[in-house]
Amino acid sequence: MKISMRRASADDAPFIYSLINKLAEFEKAPEQVTLTLDQFLQDAFSDDPLCFSHILESDGTPAGFTLCYYRYSTWKGKSLYLEDLFVEPEFRGQGLAKLALKTLAEIAVRGKCGRFEWQVLDWNEPAIKFYQSIGADLDPEWINCRLEGESISNLAK
């Protein structure tokens, strides 16, 4: 079995978009996906993209994806943020997630990133154990904060 990872193109957008929805189902929040395929195409594959993706393959078959972007830390400078990593259930256990993280770590090193970051849901024990096995620090001190939809508009008023 040969596993690989390649940079995604606009032709991969429908596959990625389908996995975004599968990931939302896995995370028990399918109703939270408001992103459209057209919006994703614009955001990820325009002349000035907001994010970039990779396709994970098993024997040449698309099996998963990553979605990343750069952000900035006032303490560490440039950081690579992994928004999503998802492998289809039937392809799990082949080393695709480890390949993805290794490749993204290489991108972070080449890009002189002070950090490579991501989040994991507190109930996702298999992912937590996997991330710990590769040496990731799981930081219990920070609480995620966000505003969405009407809350953003209310604050803006």
pLDDT at 149 over 90: no
**Which pLDDT belongs to residue 154?**
94
Round to whole Å and give the CA distance between 148 and 145.
Answer: 10
Write the CATH number for 120.
3.40.630.30
Strand partners, 82: 68
Burial class (CB in 10 A: 0-12, 13-18, 19+), 52: middle
Q: Write the pLDDT tens digit of every residue in 98-107.
A: 999 999 999 9
Which residues belong to the active site? Answer: 131
| Total domains in the fold of the chain | 1
Task: Choose among 84, 73, 98: nearest CA to 44.
Answer: 84
**Which pLDDT belongs to residue 142?**
87
pLDDT confidence band for 144 (50 / 70 / 90): confident
The residues, ordered by sequence, that sit 6+ positions from 32 with a Cβ below 8 Å of its Cβ are 24
Q: Write the pLDDT tens digit of every residue in 5-61.
A: 999 999 999 999 999 999 999 999 999 999 999 999 999 999 999 999 999 999 999
pLDDT at 140 over 90: no
**Which pLDDT belongs to residue 77?**
97
Domain that holds residue 16: 3-156
Mean pLDDT of 108-125: 95
